[in-house]
Copies of this chain bind each other. A is one copy, B any other.
Amino acid sequence: MSNSEVAELPVVRDGDVVPCCPPITAGELSRADAEKMAAMFKALSDPVRLRLFSKVASHPGGEACVCDIADVGVSQPTVSHHLKKLREAGLLTSERRGTWVYYRVAPSVVAAMAAMLDLRA
């Protein structure tokens, strides 16, 4: 793999999407925070997208390429579309290496969603 093959895609890195918010039990979400968090939840609101997300998250090494996870019963362009949505919402990061784009869960973003739903907090 040559360096010139790297990062041909716009790469969302963990940290580009700044997560918020306090736990929902702590107080009312602001309008701005609600917009931000709703977009993240929306990314997980499709069953196929959620399965793809779980496939990336549970893949050995914590990363997967389309070639590893495309067996969800939809076409490859649809898989790519869903992965793009997850990336745009900040839940996945991506990196092109050679022929393939590799996806990873963005831990801080997913942790922020979990923290917001933490009723013990």
Q: Which residue of B lies closest to A49 (CB)?
A: B38
* B34, B49, B111: the one within 8 Å of A119 (CB): B111
Convert A19-52 into 0s and 1s, putting 1 for each residue whose CB lies closer than 8 angstroms to a CB of B: 0000011111101001101110110111111110
Secondary structure at chain A's binding surface: helix, strand, loop or mixed? helix
Complex CA–CA separation, A8 to B28 (angstroms): 29
A110 at the interface (CB under 8 A from B): yes
* B44, B51, B117: the one within 8 Å of A110 (CB): B117
Please tell me if the beta carbons of B113 and A117 are within 8 angstroms of each other in the complex: yes
Please tell me if the beta carbons of B114 and A24 are within 8 angstroms of each other in the complex: no
Complex A-B: 23 CB contacts under 8 Å: A25-B58, A27-B54, A27-B58, A28-B58, A29-B54, A31-B51, A34-B51, A34-B54, A37-B50, A38-B44, A38-B46, A38-B47, A41-B44, A41-B50, A42-B42, A42-B45, A105-B119, A110-B119, A111-B117, A114-B114, A114-B115, A114-B119, A117-B117
